[in-house]
Amino acid sequence: MQAHAASERTRTPAARAVAWSDWVALTKPRITRMVVVTAGLGFLMATLAGATWTWAGLLGTLAGTAASCAAAGVWNQVIEREADARMSRTRSRPVAAGRVSPRDATGFAAVLAVLGQGLLCTFGTPLASALAAATIVLYVGPYTLLKPKTPASLWVGAVPGALPPVIGFAAASAGLAGTPWYGATSAAVWWVFGVMFFWQIPHFLAIAWKLRDDYAAGGLAMLPVVDPGGRRTGRQAVAGAALLLACVLTPAATGTLAVWAAVPCALAAAAYLGLAAAFAKGLDPVATRRLFLASLAVLPLMLALFAVGAL
């Protein structure tokens, strides 16, 4: 019995069959789900602008985006395995915990990336595939590599975080270029990019402030780790929320977003800004939690309003 237990402990990850749950966990299913929803929103915006709707186009695009996002998440876990192993939130991840070898995970990511690009080229457009490839590169390259070095990684990571609606739009918009709708709706999609980009700043700073000890243990230079007093963290959260509000007011003023959609959107952004200001002032657990929870509520509301209110 003891000999058996010892041999269990000394088995390498490669020698043991990987459990299905670990393949699934490697794909970061929660972030992949959000990415699929926001890519679907971009696809919907293109079809509302007159692009041809097909189920094959939609499902192929969503599957291709999901596979691309999963590939990015798997590669990220290979690169960050040592940091992940030091943080309580991430130490049970499959590569960090040694249940999947970096080599197997890298192979899995490559298969997912090729599958994703194939699906996007076949059921979407080459432009959508190129944008997804660029999203993977930005996330796995600059963002992941900058995390241990500088808090500016957040502003870099917000780019791949905001690109999925643009990918969905590009996948559905074949044949749409040149039509009167195309220019207006593609402008609206870039405002959606802006909304998602700036929304992430308070979203993440609230999380990182709460988890600052964990990020410090992982050796990641998130803003709350290098700014223990929290002044810069609070200021950047307020700046992100203020720029988010500008991403609602500007398209409303230029006629890209209908006023009936812009009003509730602006109210949501203003409430988010108020909560970011309260967070910056107190930096207490209640204000931090409120800002995080508000981030989860305002994003779906604003994205839905942009999808139906874009002119």
Ligand X SMILES: CC(C)=CCC/C(C)=C/CC/C(C)=C/COP(=O)(O)OP(=O)(O)O
Interaction with ligand HEM in 181-200: which residues (CB under 6 A)?
196, 200
| Residue 72 touches which of ligand HEM, ligand X, none (Cβ within 5-8 Å per kind) | ligand X
Interaction with ligand HEM in 73-102: which residues (CB under 6 A)?
89
| Residue 34 touches which of ligand HEM, ligand X, none (Cβ within 5-8 Å per kind) | ligand HEM
For residue 241, which of 285, 214, 206, 213 has the smallest C-alpha distance? 206
Interaction with ligand HEM in 193-252: which residues (CB under 6 A)?
196, 200, 203-204, 207
When asked if residue 161 is in the footprint of ligand HEM (CB under 6 A), the reply is: yes
Residues binding ligand HEM: number (CB under 6 A): 14
| Residue 220 touches which of ligand X, ligand HEM, none (Cβ within 5-8 Å per kind) | none
The 135-154 site mask, x for binding ligand X (CB under 6 A), equals xx--x---x-----------
Distant-in-sequence, close-in-space partners of 116: CB < 8 Å, separation ≥ 6: 64, 65, 66, 67, 68, 69, 70, 71, 132
Interaction with ligand X in 61-120: which residues (CB under 6 A)?
65, 68-69, 72-73, 76
For residue 208, which of 237, 167, 173 has the smallest C-alpha distance? 237
Nearest distance, CB of residue 30 and ligand HEM, angstroms? 3
CB 198 within 8 A of CB 247: yes
Among 3, 5, 17, 296, binds ligand HEM (CB under 6 A): 296
Q: Which stretch binds ligand X (CB under 6 A): 50-58, 131-139, 252-260, 268-276?
A: 131-139
| Residue 129 touches which of ligand HEM, ligand X, none (Cβ within 5-8 Å per kind) | none
| Residue 309 touches which of ligand X, ligand HEM, none (Cβ within 5-8 Å per kind) | none
Interaction with ligand HEM in 114-153: which residues (CB under 6 A)?
none
Q: Which residues here bind ligand HEM, judged by CB under 6 A?
A: 30, 34, 38, 89, 154, 157-158, 161, 196, 200, 203-204, 207, 296
Residues lying near ligand X in the complex (CB under 6 A) are found at 31, 35, 65, 68-69, 72-73, 76, 132, 135-136, 139, 143, 157, 160-161, 164, 167
